[in-house]
Amino acid sequence: MTATTHVTEHSITVAAPPEAVFALVADVAGWPQLFGPTIHVEVLEEKPLDEGRSEQLLRIWATANGTPRTWTSRRTLDRAAGRIVFRQVVSAAPVESMGGEWIVEADGDGASKVTLLHDYRAIGDDPAAVELIERAVDRNSHAELGALKAGAELGGQRDEIHFTFSDSERIEGSAEDVFAFLDRADLWPERLPHVARLELTEDEPNLQLMDMDTRSPDGSTHNTTSIRVTFPDRAVIVYKQLRVPAAMAGHTGRWVIEPTDDGNGVVATSWHTVTLDIEGVHQLLGPETTLAQARAMVRKALGTNSSTTLRHAKQFAEEAAHART
């Protein structure tokens, strides 16, 4: 017997033109920074269709009711109609199937109405599973629509609060050893001076939940919770902070290990993408603090810790390489 199909609809009005709103929904690379539940998205395939439409195959990592999950979805983008239809290709239990549609329409005076539709079936029609999926869909839909509204209504100011930077270290060692150092974050408290405590759980392969207390230069500690997705075959780790300092609205990052141009060793790079919380900046740093000053302070704090981690990864990998010679 076919499981029951459940249908939901959520909507919101956004004080921004449809083109700007649609662009944010279409840009999956920006989802982890925009949408709270989204951890990481990769475009596996992309191809143009007829009449200006296009199709993408996506791998998505996101939280559902606080639990990290991953699935594959296919979506069709129709920019002229302001519609994006999506359907999960490979779902994660207890979801048997799920799909839906983003609809972005003009709502007068330069505003937009955004409607988010979902249809889903639970494995075996289990009532507990149906309730679990319903809660996740409802929570994530409200969170995504609210974040979309906030992001779109920032307009040009979004460029002032959203920035990316990186720090790199050349290492005369192997990518495998550098990756091993970064992957085993559970050992960081004994390996890194700025890490006071760290709990790492990995319920699914290559999907880690990290709860960390970091020491500040003044001796105080602050807590962050992150979800990391590791790609050993690519020597890449991506992550998203679920709990961020008050001055930030969002923080994502990645560790990337690549061969050097001359083939002698590797270059390890730490990338950060940050969205500032304007109200949080003024509460934490004072009402006179400019966004440029806040960017510089955040860049220094994050960059200092990343550079320290890279230096210790360099020492670890180079000692390992020396031991093998």
pTM: predicted TM-score of the whole model, two decimal places? 0.91
- pLDDT of 65 strictly over 80: no
Q: Residues with Cβ < 8 Å from 269, sequence gap 6 or more?
A: 166, 167, 168, 169, 255, 256, 257, 258
Whole-number Å distance between alpha carbons of 179 and 198: 18
What strand order describes the sheet that includes 266-276? 162-171, 266-276, 248-259, 236-243, 221-231, 207-215, 195-204
Cα–Cα distances in angstroms (integers) from residue 308 to residues 5, 40, 66, 185, in the given order: 51, 25, 31, 14
Are 171 and 320 within 8 A, CB to CB?
no
- pLDDT of 1 strictly over 70: no
- Residue 160 has φ and ψ, to the nearest 5°, of -80, -30
Range from 14-23, 58-67, 69-78, 103-112 carrying the lowest mean pLDDT: 58-67
Averaged pLDDT, 274-294: 92
Domains located in the chain, CATH noted? 6-153 (3.30.530.20), 161-324 (3.30.530.20)
Are 305 and 290 within 8 A, CB to CB?
no
The phi-psi region of residue 52 (left if phi > 0; otherwise alpha if psi is between -120 and 50; otherwise beta) is left
Q: What is the pLDDT of residues 194-240, one digit of tens each?
A: 999 999 999 888 999 999 999 887 888 888 899 999 999 999 999 99
**pLDDT given at position 204:** 85
Are 161 and 280 within 8 A, CB to CB?
no
